[in-house]
A and B are shown apart, each in its own frame.
Chain A
Amino acid sequence: MTVLLELKGVNKSFGALRVAQDVTFDLPEGQALGVIGPNGAGKSTLFNLIGGALPPSSGQIAFDGHDVTRTPASARCRAGVARSFQIPHPFVGMSVFENLLVASSFGESGHTDPEAAAAHILDITGLRHRANRHAGSLTLLERKRLELSRALATGPKLLLLDEIAGGLTEGECHDLVATIKDVQSTGVSIIWIEHIVHALMAVVDRLIVIDFGRIVADGDPATVMAQPEVQEIYMGISVEDAA
C-alpha cells in the first residue's frame, strides 16, 4: 500500500512549550485516521504542521512522495492537502457555489469543468439546494457542510477535518457521518480530529491518541479505545475508579 503522508520525528515548540514531540506516523492512501486527545493536547497543532500553517521545529513531513517540510500552505493545498476548520470560515459575501469555485480555481484542482465539479461536490455533501444562498446566511450544519465542500473543491488527496461534528445535534451528526463516509469512498484519505468519539468510530479505520503533543496510542480504533491508559487520559476516568 502506498504511503500518502509520512511524519518523521516531528517536533514543534513555542518557547519552552512543546506542542508536538517526536510525532511519527504514516498514513496509507485511502485510510481514514481518527485523532483524539484532551483539549490542548496538540491535535490542531498537528493539522497546522501537516497543512503547512506552522513550520516544524525539527523533523520531516513528506506528502505524496515529496518532502514538504518547508513547503508553504498554499503549495501544499495545490499538492492535495485540504483542511476544514473547527469554526467555519466561509467567504461570507459569496454564494455557496462561488465559495466552491474559488476553492477550485485557487487549488488548481485540475477540474476541466469547475462548475460541474462544484455541483457534483454539492451533491455529495448535500448542499445543492443551498447553492445560490449567501454563505453568511447558512445554519451551523450547512456551514460545516460548506467547509467540507470547499475543502473537497480544491481537489484533495488528503482531507483534514477539524472537529467538523462539534456543536451539531445527534441527528445532524449522524447525517454528517454518512456524508464523510461517502467522501472516503471516493478515494480521499482522511485525518479527522473529533471529540465526538462515536461519530469518529463510525468512520475511521485507525485511531491515534495524542496527549501533551505526543502520540500515546496508535492502532485499530476498538483496541486503542480499550487501552486503560487511553481511557484514563481521554475519558478522564482512572481505571481503578471504574473497576
Chain B
Amino acid sequence: MIWVNAILQGVLLGGLYALFAAGLSLMFGVMRFVNIAHGDFIVVGAYAILTAIVTMGLPPVLGVAAVLVLMAVAGFAGQYVVLNRVLGKDILPPILVTFGMSIILQNALLEIYSADSRKLPTGTFETSSIDLAGGLAVGVLPLCMFLTALAVIGGLQFVFYRTALGRMLRATSDDPEIVPLMGGNNNRIFAIATAMASLVVGIAGIWLAMKTQFDPAAGPARLLFAFEAVIIGGLGNLWGTLAGGIILGVAQTLGAQIGGGFQILAGHLVFLLILIVRPKGLFPRMKG
C-alpha cells in the first residue's frame, strides 16, 4: 500500500511538473526556442504572489488575478521588446539572452527578497486531505494542483486546435517564413504565444509558492524538471508533456520510498532511460 500511495502522490506531483513544463513546451512549439530563464520566471511568479498576498495583503482571488495579468503583460512586452530581436535562424542568441535574463532575475530576487527560502502560507488548504479506500489519502492541495494542470493543458489544447488564434499559432510553428506572405505578423504572434506561456508560468509559480519552499536560486532546478517532462512526453505534444510530468513525479516519489537521497536521482534516471529507449520522447508530434 505504501507503493500505491507513492504512485498516487507521484501522479499529483506530476501535475506541478506538467505546469512547469507547459509554458516551455508552448514557447518551443511556436518559436522553436528554449527559454533558459523559464524556471526563474516561475520563481518570479511565486514571489509575485507572495508579495501580492503577504506583503500587500490582497485577497487571494485578486492577488492571483493581478499576478496572472502581470505575467501575461510582461511576457507579451518582453517578447516584443527583447526576444523578437534575437529570434532568427541562429539558435544561440535567444539562448544567450535568456541565460542572461536568468542571471539578472536571480540576482534581482536575491537583492529584493534576500536568500531566505519562503513559502506562501495557505492555512488549512495545505493540511486538509480526502480519505480514500484502503487507508489512502490525497491532500486537497496536490489534488487541486493536479486538476489545475489538467485544466491548463486541456485549455491550451482547446485554444491550439479549436480556435482561429490556435490555427495561427500552429501555422507560425509550421512555417514562419510563409506567414508574412499570408498577411500575418510573426512578431505579434510570437508575443501572443509568450503571453500565453507566461500566464501558464504565473499559474505554475503560484502553485510552487503554495506547495514548497522556494528561494531566488530555485529556478534552474524547475527548468530542469520542466525540460525533462517536455522531453519525456515528446516535443510539441501538450498531453505528452502532462504524461512526462506524471512519469517524472511518480519516478521521484517511488525513488523517495527507496531512500531520501533517491528522490531526485530516480527522476533523472528514468529520464535518461527514456532518452536511451525513445530519444524522441514517448509521444512525439513534431518533426525535425
**Bound CA span A78–B181, Å:** 9
Contact between A106 and B183 (Cβ–Cβ < 8 Å)?
yes
Partner of A74, one of B168, B170, B171, B180: B180
CB contacts (< 8 Å) of B167 on chain A: these are 94, 98, 101-102, 105
B182 at the interface (CB under 8 A from A): yes
CB contacts (< 8 Å) of A154 on chain B: these are 182-183
B-binding segment of A85-93, A166-174, A194-202, A229-237 = A85-93
Contact between B178 and A89 (Cβ–Cβ < 8 Å)?
yes
Over the window 152-187 of chain B, the binary record of Cβ atoms lying under 8 Å from chain A Cβ atoms (1 yes, 0 no) is 000000000000100110110111011111111100
A72 at the interface (CB under 8 A from B): yes
Partner of A106, one of B170, B173, B174, B179: B179
> A: which residues have CB within 8 A of B?
51, 53, 72-75, 77-78, 83, 89, 91-94, 98-99, 101-103, 105-108, 150, 154
**Bound CA span A74–B179, Å:** 8
Contact between B180 and A72 (Cβ–Cβ < 8 Å)?
yes
Of A89, A92, A93, chain B has the most CB atoms within 10 Å of the CB of A93
Of B170, B174, B177, B185, chain A has the most CB atoms within 10 Å of the CB of B174
A-B CB contact pairs (8 Å), 22 listed: A53-B181, A74-B180, A74-B181, A74-B183, A74-B185, A77-B180, A83-B181, A89-B178, A91-B170, A93-B170, A94-B174, A98-B167, A101-B167, A102-B168, A102-B171, A102-B184, A103-B182, A105-B164, A105-B168, A106-B182, A107-B182, A150-B182
Contact between B184 and A106 (Cβ–Cβ < 8 Å)?
yes
**Bound CA span A91–B176, Å:** 10
Q: Across chains A and B, which 5 residue pairs bring their CB atoms closest together, nearest first?
A: A77-B183, A106-B184, A107-B183, A91-B174, A74-B180
CB contacts (< 8 Å) of B168 on chain A: these are 102, 105-106
Chain B: interface residue total (CB-CB under 8 A): 17
Assess A94 versus B171: contact at CB under 8 Å? Given A89-B178, A101-B164, A105-B164. Answer: yes
**Bound CA span A53–B180, Å:** 9
**Bound CA span A36–B114, Å:** 70
**Bound CA span A75–B167, Å:** 20
Q: How far is the CB of B9 from chain A (nearest CB, A)?
A: 37
CB contacts (< 8 Å) of A75 on chain B: these are 183
Chain B, Cβ-Cβ closest to A103: B182
Q: How far is the CB of B184 from chain A (nearest CB, A)?
A: 4
Q: How far is the CB of A161 from chain B (nearest CB, A)?
A: 14
Q: How far is the CB of B89 from chain A (nearest CB, A)?
A: 16
CB contacts (< 8 Å) of A77 on chain B: these are 180-183
Q: How far is the CB of A34 from chain B (nearest CB, A)?
A: 22
**Bound CA span A105–B172, Å:** 13
CB contacts (< 8 Å) of B180 on chain A: these are 72-74, 77
Contact between B183 and A91 (Cβ–Cβ < 8 Å)?
no
Chain A, Cβ-Cβ closest to B173: A93
